[in-house]
């Protein structure tokens, strides 16, 4: 065998490896399908992110337990993307007999979970009057701890004990006497059913009630 023949025979496998792929090659077809699928996925994602949906936003502050009507809300177009299912679309309308399940603030979007039926409310509003001033930042929606000091036989009060932790304020108003000498705060706080007996018992026994702003609760 000549040197030329030997080189020719040794080059044949390399030439076979460098052969151009055929359109009928399943690996090539699979690669094309993967590229097309990726492009379609990106187009769908961009289209979804760019789509606006009309949802409800709160027109004014609404305390918990308040019936909600369309006059309390305004339609706003927003881009929500994957969070769209969490909010109440205008196209779906308001649920029948809906009330605010928590304090709703002016301008915030209305989450589906924020509206409940009145029978589903597990907190009751209880009125309190406190003489001690509260921080200026305290408002409807703030959380407070409620303490009570029971009267004793010495015409004084026992050591105060905490009755409720992080109760939500539903409404708040500051009142003053005619001469401006005395100032008190009227509160409506939302109390869960298991805590009602303790608080109502303290109120009926003329306990001294004190509320303390609880910033650790996030409000």
Instruction: Work out how many domains the chain is built from and give that number.
Output: 2
Domain match, 127 and 108 both: no
Range(s) of the domain holding residue 158: 122-217
pLDDT given for residue 17 in this prediction: 55
In a domain, 23, yes or no: no
Give this prediction's pTM.
0.56
In a domain, 200, yes or no: yes
In a domain, 166, yes or no: yes
Domain match, 163 and 186 both: yes
In a domain, 74, yes or no: yes
Q: What is the 3-state secondary structure (H, E, C) of the chain?
A: CCHHHHHHHHHHHHHHHCCCCCCCCHHHHHHHHHHHHHHHHHHHHHHHHHCCEEEEEECCCECCCCECCHHHEEEEEECCHHHHHHECEHHHCCCCCEEECCCECCCCECEHHHEEEHHHCCEEEEEEEECCCCCCCCCCCCEEEEEEECECCCCCECCCEEEEEEEEEEEEEEEECCCCCCEEEEEEEEEEHHHHHHHHHHHHCCCEEEEEECHHHCC
- Give the pLDDT confidence of 135-167 residue by residue, as tens digits: 888 888 889 999 999 999 888 999 999 999 999
- Give the pLDDT confidence of 164-194 residue by residue, as tens digits: 999 988 888 888 765 655 678 899 898 988 9
Domain match, 94 and 111 both: yes
Domain match, 129 and 196 both: yes
CATH at residue 58: 3.90.1210
In a domain, 128, yes or no: yes
């Amino acid at each position: 065998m000549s040197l030329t023949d030997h080189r020719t025979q040794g080059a044949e496998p390399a030439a076979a490896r460098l052969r151009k792929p055929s359109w009928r090659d399943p690996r090539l077809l699979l690669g094309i399908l993967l590229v097309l699928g990726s492009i379609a996925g990106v187009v769908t994602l961009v289209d979804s992110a760019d789509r606006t949906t009309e949802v409800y936003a709160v027109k004014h502050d609404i305390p918990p337990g308040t019936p909600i009507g369309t006059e309390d809300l305004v339609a706003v177009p927003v881009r929500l993307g994957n969070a769209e299912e969490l909010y109440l679309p205008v196209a779906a309308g308001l649920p029948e007999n809906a009330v605010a399940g928590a304090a709703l603030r002016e301008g915030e979007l209305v989450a589906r979970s924020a509206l409940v039926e009145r029978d589903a409310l597990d907190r009751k509003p209880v009125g309190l009057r406190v003489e001690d001033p509260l921080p200026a930042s305290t408002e409807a929606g703030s959380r407070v701890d409620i303490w009570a000091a029971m009267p004793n036989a010495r015409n004084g009060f026992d050591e105060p004990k905490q009755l409720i932790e992080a109760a939500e304020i539903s409404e708040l108003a500051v009142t003053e006497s005619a001469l401006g000498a005395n100032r008190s705060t009227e509160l409506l706080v939302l109390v869960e059913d298991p805590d009602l007996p303790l608080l109502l018992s303290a109120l009926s026994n003329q306990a001294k009630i004190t509320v303390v702003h609880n910033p650790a609760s996030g409000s």
